[in-house]
Structure 1
Amino acid sequence: MSEPGTVALPVKHDGSVQAIAFSPDSTRFASAGSDSLLRVRPIGIGVPLDIPVDGSVTGIAFSPDGSKIAVADFESVSLRDSTTGAVVWQGPLDPGNSVNTVRFGANGQLVAVTDTLVAVLEQATGATVKRTSVDPPLIADVDLSRDGTRIALAIDERHGGNHKFAGAARVLDLATGTELGKLTPGNAVHAVAFSPDGTKVLCCSADDTTRMFKAQGGAEEWRLGGEDGDEVTAPSCLAFDPKGIWTVVGGADGFARVLEAESGAQKARAPKLVAGGSSPGAVTHVAFSPNGKLAASACIDNLVRLFNLNSDELYTVSTEEVLTMRFSPNGRWLGVGCFDRALVIDNGEANQG
């Protein structure tokens, strides 16, 4: 039995790894990015699978039953058999625009997102069910509600034709494209996350604020930062815990903070700094374990940290710069994608489930 923090599975790549995914049963791990292969590896006993791709993969997702894997690869979206790699269907989504995200939504449909477009696709054929253009662009981050019927968008208006230091967090109904709620901070929105019940959205902005708002109507519930006397944390990444009790927010000040979802009050933070010690540098990725007891962070000091709600670190693992990170559905594994490899880190049997 391996110790927490042991690298259980290293996957070598010839380029940056920008997309990773675990199968629903947590027995397989997929990784892809700028090289020409999507790699599906067993965590333990099993047969590895290499799937040829164009080499610009930014999103991958297993279907709810694990039999298929969806791939966002440059301008195209494809659906493949997850055990053989055979193409079920493949095609461009919006010629001239790269697909940044692909997820499984309600009724098994696929949701694919570019900088300016949200599209719902039929799983069986890839036919477009609904296309919703987003103006102004750019879509910097997305999250789907747990029931797959709503999408939250982080909008960054610093890009595109207008170059405004502005942005918004928006909630859309996927079936109709109707805007259900909108919050407009004082600058670009970096990241968004739905509460497990889909009624609230957490967002962080370049105006140095972290805010919670109602998905329906957009009413703000609480705000941290952005005011005189508040601590400057420069938040840039965030996540909800699966039970809706806690959130974790990472900032450029070098800390990942666990906050109460109801109030924004701080419960824990990592790392713990010793007297006279220096900041580890900006936090680039955060995630919550499925049991809601642990959080993970990745910083530009090239360390991945797993810590609990008392700020105690269970492990630190040295990596190359992390480009993507997520827990397995059962919580046993933490996957990260770096510039030349992907890693599956063992969180320990006690942290499973």
Structure 2
Amino acid sequence: MSEPGTVALTVEHAGSVRAIAFSPDGARFASGGEDTVLRVRPVGIGVPVDMSVDGFVTGVAFSPDGARIALADFEQVLLLDASGGPALWQGPLDPGHSVNSVRFTPDGRVIAATDTLIAVLDQATGAIGRRITVDPPLIADVDLSRDGARIALAVDERHGGDHRRAGSARVVDLATGAELGRLTPDDAVLAVAFAPDGSTVVCCAADDTTRMFEAQGGAQLWPAPDEIDDQVTAPSCVAFDPRGRWTVVGGSDGFARVLDAETGVEKCRAPKLTPGAPDPGFGAVTHVAFSPNGRLAASASIDAVVRLFDLDGKELYAVTTDEREVLTMTFSPDGHRLGVGCFDRALVIDNGTSDGG
């Protein structure tokens, strides 16, 4: 294992890379974007695979057994054999709307999202078993519950004919399409994340708030109505830790803050400022994530810096991506590596032994 912050793998692309994924065993890394090629690379020893697609790759996910890859390719969804070859099936999802994300449920169904639609597809045939439409649009973010039974939606209503400054966070049952809970801040909701047990959802909104609410019924847990949520400036990205204890949220002031999931109280922030030193003017945080064991968090900012830090805010590394803004980020399943997608390349960063096992 290399020193924390070592770039272990660089995958060159022509154009932006907006979709990345590790295989369930962490041995392969897939990346795709504007250049109409899905690249699958071994993280270590193995054979690289390139698969040509028709358009702009916006989402990629490995199946639970690692044998298949679901791909969002402009307006269509494809299922590919992870070892290469032609698509097993492919087809449009919502004509006129690009597919923004794909993922698998634990039982192997494919969940795909456009700006206005959530679709549940059969892995064997690609048949759409359920359509869940969102009106008014736009779906800004989605998160799937760990058991694959529910989906959380961040809805931004600033689009469409009336351009309302409004939005909501919603929880929908995938089996029935029924809405189970809804929270409505004073502006668009930008990001959502489920607690590990699926009972609560954290969201951040364009009204400068981060809120926790019950998935069933939508009751807000924090902040209290008389509290002013002034901890995070313009929050735009959020993640729940796998143990259900903490959330991490990124804001425009350049900090990623770890908050207590029960109370919303800040535990730490990264990066740390030197006492008495002037504010260096960090770039806005655009992506956050927790390691699989919940002991570490990562952030990426608009000034092309990726940081790994512990739950005391201690920075374990800060890696610059050569002035290339990070467009997507994810941990490997074992937490030993961090994958990022940027303009014209994807990177796999080694976390060393700092992930804590």
Q: TM-score range by the shorter chain?
A: over 0.9
Residue 277 of structure 1, CA deviation: 3.1
Q: Paired residues, what number?
A: 353
- Distance, in Å, in 1 between the alignment partners of 2:296 and 2:225 is 24
Please tell me whether the aligned partners of residues 242 and 288 of structure 1 are also in contact (alpha carbons under 8 angstroms): yes
Call closer, same or farther: CA 1:229–1:72 in 2, change over 3 Å: closer
| Greater shift in the superposed pair: 105-114 or 32-41 | 105-114
- Distance, in Å, in 1 between the alignment partners of 2:30 and 2:263 is 37
Is 1:339 the counterpart of 2:343? The answer is yes
Residue 278 of structure 1, CA deviation: 1.7
- Distance, in Å, in 2 between the alignment partners of 1:67 and 1:225 is 48
Secondary structure of the equivalent of 1:204? strand
Post-superposition Cα deviations, 1:232-279, rounded to whole Å, max 9, x if no partner, equal 521110001111111100001110000111111111100112211322
Please tell me whether the aligned partners of residues 138 and 156 of structure 1 are also in contact (alpha carbons under 8 angstroms): yes
Within-5 A mapping of 1:13-52: 13-52=13-52
Q: Which runs of 5+ in 2 are unaligned?
A: none
Is 1:324 the counterpart of 2:306? The answer is no
Please tell me whether the aligned partners of residues 142 and 151 of structure 2 are also in contact (alpha carbons under 8 angstroms): yes
Partner of 1:101: 101
Give me the TM-score of the superposition, normalised by structure 2.
0.96
Residue 141 of structure 1, CA deviation: 0.3
Please tell me whether the aligned partners of residues 49 and 85 of structure 1 are also in contact (alpha carbons under 8 angstroms): no
Secondary structure of the equivalent of 2:15? coil
Q: List structure 1 segments (4+ residues) > 3 angstroms apart after TM superposition.
A: 224-232
- Distance, in Å, in 2 between the alignment partners of 1:287 and 1:229 is 21
- Distance, in Å, in 1 between the alignment partners of 2:212 and 2:227 is 16
Is 1:65 the counterpart of 2:65? The answer is yes
Call closer, same or farther: CA 1:339–1:173 in 2, change over 3 Å: same
Within-5 A mapping of 1:227-242: 230-231=230-231, 233-242=233-242
Give me the TM-score of the superposition, normalised by structure 1.
0.97
Residue 76 of structure 1, CA deviation: 0.4
Residue 230 of structure 1, CA deviation: 3.2
Q: Which runs of 5+ in 1 are unaligned?
A: none
Secondary structure of the equivalent of 2:175? coil
Within-5 A mapping of 1:176-255: 176-223=176-223, 230-231=230-231, 233-255=233-255
Call closer, same or farther: CA 1:227–1:261 in 2, change over 3 Å: closer
Letter matched to residue 132 of structure 2:
T
Is 1:156 the counterpart of 2:160? The answer is no
Partner of 1:304: 306
Call closer, same or farther: CA 1:307–1:85 in 2, change over 3 Å: farther
Residue 226 of structure 1, CA deviation: 10
Residue 227 of structure 1, CA deviation: 6.2
Fraction of identical pairs, as percent: 70
- Distance, in Å, in 1 between the alignment partners of 2:229 and 2:151 is 34
Of 267, 286, 294 in structure 2, the residue corresponding to residue 292 of structure 1 is: 294
Please tell me whether the aligned partners of residues 19 and 341 of structure 2 are also in contact (alpha carbons under 8 angstroms): yes
- Distance, in Å, in 2 between the alignment partners of 1:173 and 1:182 is 12
- Distance, in Å, in 1 between the alignment partners of 2:232 and 2:141 is 22
Post-superposition Cα deviations, 1:18-66, rounded to whole Å, max 9, x if no partner, equal 0000000001000001112100000000000000012311100000000
Please tell me whether the aligned partners of residues 238 and 247 of structure 2 are also in contact (alpha carbons under 8 angstroms): yes
